[in-house]
Amino acid sequence: MRNSRYFIPAWKIPYGRLTGDEHWSALKLPVEQIPCERCAASYLRKNKRQRFCETCRVTVLYEYKRSYAADYRRRFPEKAKLAVKMSWQKRHDYYLQASREYGRRYRRSVARVVIDHYSNGSFRCACCGESNLDFLAIDHINGGGIKERMALFGRPNTGGARFYNWLIKKGFPSGYQVLCANCNTSKGKHGTCVHQGARFEIKGTSCNH
Ligand SMILES: [Zn+2]
Ligand SMILES: [Zn+2]
Ligand SMILES: [Zn+2]
């Protein structure tokens, strides 16, 4: 340090003749462009103890914290495990709710992708034009949904995200359309939706809607 170009010996600082700010500005070391010890890019040093550029300073601190934590886990594995467990237990309700919310959002996003594709981006029921995403589902144009679900998942009532994921994985096979819950139910009963002219009769009265 004494050999440094910027080292100013105390006896050479003319503090006797300087006062206040003048004295401190005389003490200040000149800045210089030197390479960063991490990324080797040259940067403007703010003080002579700085070793890393402004970008690397943050990263170095982060790396140090990470390595310290890893070291701690290595030295006291039981303690570290317990700490994780305690923190999870402390906020159990929060994590439970967060994971539920995450699942809800994920399933909704998957449904959006599939319904977007099969409604050609209109997000509407192919029969009546219903546009609420909650009511929309994928319908097998030629029927056979239960059979297909039994073959795919071994259960007649597996729908939603699992089925949508399967559609995405298969690259959106044809033979499906978007229908709302009403039209889907009606089609299931009569073969076509009542909107399309299917009639059903109850004790002499006929209803077309
Ligand atoms: Zn750097
Ligand atoms: Zn509809
Ligand atoms: Zn309909």
Ligand 2 centroid to Cα of residue 181, in Å, is 7
Which residue has better confidence, 17 or 181? 181
Which residue has better confidence, 131 or 11? 131
Ligand 2 centroid to Cα of residue 193, in Å, is 8
* Average pLDDT over every residue of 154-167: 79
Instruction: Check whether 119 has a pLDDT greater than 60.
Output: yes
Ligand 3 centroid to Cα of residue 64, in Å, is 63
Which ligand lies nearest the alpha carbon of 35?
1
* Predicted local confidence at residue 114, as pLDDT: 93
* Predicted local confidence at residue 15, as pLDDT: 45
Query: Which residues touch 157 (CB under 8 Å, ≥6 apart)?
Result: 149
Instruction: Check whether 17 has a pLDDT greater than 60.
Output: no
* Average pLDDT over every residue of 9-29: 55
Which ligand lies nearest the alpha carbon of 139?
2
Please report, rounded to a whole number, the percentage of residues in the chain having pLDDT higher than 70: 77
* Predicted local confidence at residue 180, as pLDDT: 92
Q: Where are the domains of the chain?
A: 10-53, 109-207
In this prediction, residue 72 has a pLDDT band, given cuts at 50, 70 and 90, of very high
Instruction: Check whether 76 has a pLDDT greater than 90.
Output: yes
Q: What would the 3-class secondary structure string for the chain be?
A: CCCCCCCCCHHHCCCCCCCCHHHHHHHCCCCCEEECCCCCCEEECCCCCCCCCHHHHHHHHHHHHHHHHHHHHHHCHHHHHHHHHHHHHHCHHHHHHHHHHHHHHHHHHHHHHHHHHHCCCCCCCCCCCCCCHHHEEEEECCCCHHHHHHHHHCCCCCCHHHHHHHHHHCCCCCCEEEEEHHHHHHHHHHCCCHHHCCCEEECCEEECC
Is the full-model pTM beyond 0.95? Answer: no
CA distance 194 to 181: 13
Instruction: Check whether 127 has a pLDDT greater than 70.
Output: yes
Instruction: For residue 175, report the phi and psi dihedrals to the nearest 5 degrees.
Output: 100, 10
Ligand 3 centroid to Cα of residue 91, in Å, is 47
Which ligand lies nearest the alpha carbon of 196?
3
List the single range of 10-24, 80-94, 158-172 with lowest mean pLDDT: 10-24
